């Protein structure tokens, strides 16, 4: 039954859009340059990401996928973000639970195939160009004789009413430096109110612009341990530094 459903989704999408089936880009471990700061707490949800492509006007398409501990099943968040404003211009959540998958039978590739036509339609609408090289790199780095680095600053805390961390983060800012100049690229409120740690994970360099996409992680308490929530922020490397 499952294979028949996937085949129908495949045919339905191709008939409507007369388009190709998207090939998922490689999985990327966004936490590869770090270790958890939570100590004895077990990190039970460890998402992976894929970079689908970039536009020539400051947009990037990515997905974050995770197996859901406790509840079961798999979830993919497919996002197109405007890196100039950090505004999400398209978001699609693919949840295997929506297809009565309670035992984890569906793979991530199965979900991508089922939603192929919606993803492709969004990529075309936002002029995302597929097939670019997408190396995930760590700070610092040198470009045009300038050394760039990034850090989290202005951390603000509140008491942890749940007793999972000594204190929880209520706000933070992401700073990017270019030599002796600097700029804040975002002021963020954590996605979870029980976030104990934040990290600068690394960056992706746009293949079309002098722009990077900075990735942060927020380590929050979840089912029986901690989980990572990833955030993506744009930074032009040539303007805005003081």
Torsion over CA: 151, 157, 161, 165 (sign): positive
C-alpha of 81 from chain center: 10
Q: 16-34, pLDDT tens digit by residue? A: 444 589 999 999 999 999 8
Mean pLDDT of the chain: 88
Q: 81-128, pLDDT tens digit by residue? A: 999 999 999 999 999 888 877 666 888 999 999 999 999 999 999 999
Cβ neighbours for 101, distance < 8 A, ≥ 6 positions apart: 73, 74
Q: 64-77, pLDDT tens digit by residue? A: 999 876 667 889 99
Q: How many CA atoms lie within 13 A of 195 on its CB side?
A: 23
Q: Is the pTM of this model over 0.85?
A: yes
Name the strand (E) or helix (H) holding 109: helix 108-114
Rounded to an integer, the average pLDDT of 214-222 is 92
Q: Given this model, what pLDDT does residue 28 score?
A: 96
Q: Given this model, what pLDDT does residue 17 score?
A: 44
Residue 229 has pLDDT above 80, yes or no: yes
DSSP state of 97: G
How deeply is 46 buried, as exposed, middle or buried, from its count of CB atoms within 10 A (0-12, 13-18, 19+)? middle
Q: Given this model, what pLDDT does residue 185 score?
A: 98
Q: Which residue has the tokens 């990572």?
A: 228
Give the number of other CB atoms < 10 A from CB of residue 133: 8
Residue length of the chain: 242
Residue 214 confidence class, pLDDT cut points 50, 70, 90: very high
Share of residues in the chain with pLDDT > 90 (%):
71
Q: Is the peptide bond before 177 cis (omega within 30 degrees of 0)?
A: no
**Distance (Å, rounded) from C-alpha 223 to C-alpha 221?**
7
Q: Given this model, what pLDDT does residue 16 score?
A: 44
**Distance (Å, rounded) from C-alpha 201 to C-alpha 183?**
18
Helix 116-125 to helix 2-17 angle (10° resolution) is 30
């Amino acid at each position: 039954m499952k294979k028949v459903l996937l085949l129908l989704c495949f045919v339905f999408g191709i008939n409507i859009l007369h388009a190709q089936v998207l090939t998922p880009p490689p999985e990327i471990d966004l936490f590869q340059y770090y270790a958890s700061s939570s100590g004895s707490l077990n990190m039970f949800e460890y998402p992976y990401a894929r970079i689908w492509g970039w536009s020539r006007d400051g947009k990037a398409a990515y997905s974050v996928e995770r197996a859901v501990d406790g509840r079961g099943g798999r979830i993919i968040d497919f996002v197109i973000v405007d890196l100039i404003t950090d505004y999400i211009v398209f978001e699609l959540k693919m949840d295997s639970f929506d297809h009565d998958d309670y035992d984890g039978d569906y793979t991530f590739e199965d979900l991508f195939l089922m939603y192929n036509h919606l993803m492709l339609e969004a990529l075309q609408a936002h002029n995302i160009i597929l097939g670019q090289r997408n190396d995930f790199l760590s700070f610092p780095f040198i470009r045009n004789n300038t050394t760039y680095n990034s850090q989290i600053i202005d951390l603000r805390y509140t008491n942890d009413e749940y007793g999972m961390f000594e204190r929880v983060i209520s706000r933070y800012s992401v700073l990017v430096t270019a030599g002796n100049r600097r700029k804040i690229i975002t002021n963020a409120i954590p996605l979870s109110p029980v976030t104990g740690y934040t990290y600068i994970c690394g960056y992706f360099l746009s293949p079309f612009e002098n722009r990077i996409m900075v990735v942060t992680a927020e380590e929050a308490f979840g089912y029986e341990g901690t989980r990572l929530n990833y955030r993506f922020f744009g930074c032009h490397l040539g303007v805005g530094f003081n």
